[in-house]
Amino acid sequence: MNLKIKNALVSVSDKENLISLLKTLKKFNIKIISSGGTFKTIKKLGYDCTELSKYTGFKEMLGGRVKTLHPKIHAGILHDRQNKTHKHQMSKQKFPPIDLIVVNFYPFQKVVMGSKNSKNIIENIDIGGPTMVRAAAKNFKNVTIITNKDDYRTLIKELELNRGGTSIKFREFMSSKAFGLTAYYDAMIANWFNNKLNIQFPDRKTIFGRKLTNLRYGENPHQESSIYINDYDDKRLGFEKIHGKELSYNNYNDLFAGLDILQSLKGKAATVVIKHANPCGISTNKKPLNSFKNAYACDPISAFGGVIACNYKMTKAVANEITKNFLEVILSKGFDKESLKILKRKKNLRIIDISQFKYKEHAVIKSFDGSFLIQNKNKKFVKKKEFKCVTKLKPSKKELNEIAFAFNICKYVKSNAIVLCSNYSTIGIGGGQPSRVDSCKIAIQKAKKFQLNKISNAIAASDAFFPFVDGLKLLVNAGIKTVIQPGGSVRDKEIINYANKAKIKMLFTGTRHFYH
């Protein structure tokens, strides 16, 4: 059902692109009602417009909090044009219909990003705008609702096609977008209050997100996928792709895993190698080149087609090493001219600058078929003073630093996790196994295959306690001399006794690092 538009109410905070719409409204003799800054802008642009207060006969009050909240406005929007009772009541009150609403809201999210003034933020919670939008969206059978300046062009085409009217299909589609916006807007406000009041787990949780882009497909070609931004700054992710193919679902999944680990590695140059969202090599070193080489050497077979994340500015030397291998994505805190020139020789290599990325520690969300789990981030970094050495042999102060590095890394490996380290570099990683013994076997197997000369005297970190001595025996027999684990098993005494007999050092942390 196509409906001719006679009256439009235009009230927008963002006045960009407004002139193109005004030209079309004038062309089809559509009368415009407006208020405040929008009214002034329309008049300044040279178009006729009726001021809202003159239209309603009611001056705005309470500092502008009450403008559009008037029966003449909402009756004009909400009445059903096919309902005889509605028509009679509208006629009796002499209320004309309002057929088009063009509204965008007070810039709440912009104010939140730029201000900590609660009073100012609250004043920028729009009431009249969302109320009109919901009314128009509910009555899409009779009213067209536009909530985004990017839709002006589509509306203009629709008006041209229907000679000043709109189709029911178009109105219903715009209604769906409008309800999406009001839900998004309210969710941002609720989120702000929850953060302000430090409410991590409210009774009702709404997750807001703005679509950044559609992705080619999901984890597999038969799955559809998009990426959304769940943040007040919802136009960008904080990093910039400067070369290569578009990022895929799996690319994003891997690079997020890399960024997660990278933010915990401070001080020295750090390189993280990710494959299928799992780390397969991590190293910190004073020299970026050594950091890259050591990380990649941990498991070069798994690193094939992986993601490299670096917390340093990319150099020519590291770039040359990278191009010797097949990799999908490179993340780095900037690139010098020579390194960029070298990396760009790889046509499809995705090069991403993370120098402006800021880690915000949002909650972790996992969903399943109509339900979802939420938890805060595992940002616990166990300090050396929290370690408890439970064996006769004790580590030196120098060794404690590397032990802390190893235990920090194991929290980013899928459980059950076993991480072998030497000289602030992983040399073997076993994870994602139902059995801790199997994770031990995999970590040892990887180390023997690629880092055989470094196993002797290496450090082993476990994300949870050893329930039996079997896993520990495998590590000791492989040459491990230091083990760090949470402790807490009913067999801890048996484990400690074996460690003393094997003449290794063992430390308990009291902190578990499960990651599923």
Q: Give all domains of the chain, ordered by start, each with its CATH number.
A: 3-196 (3.40.50.1380), 237-353 (3.40.140.20), 384-508 (3.40.140.20)
Instruction: Spot the catalytic one: 15, 86, 87, 138.
Output: 138
- Pick the closest to residue 128 from 189, 181, 70, 76 (CA basis): 70
Which pLDDT belongs to residue 80? 87
Question: At 62, is the pLDDT very low, low, confident or very high (cuts 50, 70, 90)?
Answer: confident
Least confident stretch, 93-97, 255-259, 392-396: 93-97
- Which tokens in the block code for residue 232? 């007040």
Which pLDDT belongs to residue 510? 95
Pairing of strands 269-275, 306-310: antiparallel
Q: Is 40 a catalytic residue?
A: no
Question: At 302, is the pLDDT very low, low, confident or very high (cuts 50, 70, 90)?
Answer: very high
Question: At 59, is the pLDDT very low, low, confident or very high (cuts 50, 70, 90)?
Answer: confident
Identify the residue whose tokens are 């680990």: 261
pTM value is 0.87
Q: Quick: pLDDT tens for 390-433.
A: 999 999 988 999 999 999 999 999 999 999 999 999 999 999 99
Can you give the C-alpha Rg of the chain in angstroms?
A: 30
Q: Report the C-alpha gap between 289 and 286 in whole angstroms.
A: 9
Q: Are 172 and 179 in contact (CB under 8 A)?
A: no
Q: Quick: pLDDT tens for 438-455.
A: 999 999 999 999 999 999
Helices (H), 115-167: 118-123, 128-138, 152-161
Mean pLDDT of all residues in the chain? 92
Q: Is 276 a catalytic residue?
A: yes
Contacts of 514 (CB under 8 A, 6+ apart): 415, 463, 464
Q: Residue 428, SS3?
A: strand
Q: Quick: pLDDT tens for 113-124.
A: 888 888 888 888
With 90 as the cut, is the pLDDT of residue 109 above it? Answer: no
Which sign, positive or negative, has the C-alpha torsion 489, 494, 499, 502? negative
Which pLDDT belongs to residue 317? 96
- Alpha carbon distances (Å) from 161 to 29, 139, 167, 172, 177: 15, 22, 10, 17, 21
With 90 as the cut, is the pLDDT of residue 261 above it? Answer: yes
Q: Report the C-alpha gap between 469 and 243 in whole angstroms.
A: 50
- Which tokens in the block code for residue 358? 């800021």
Q: Report the C-alpha gap between 406 and 484 in whole angstroms.
A: 8
Which pLDDT belongs to residue 362? 80
Instruction: Spot the catalytic one: 177, 276, 333, 344.
Output: 276
- Pick the closest to residue 95 from 106, 79, 119 (CA basis): 79
Q: Are 404 and 421 in contact (CB under 8 A)?
A: no
Which pLDDT belongs to residue 203? 92
- Pick the closest to residue 340 from 311, 358, 313 (CA basis): 313
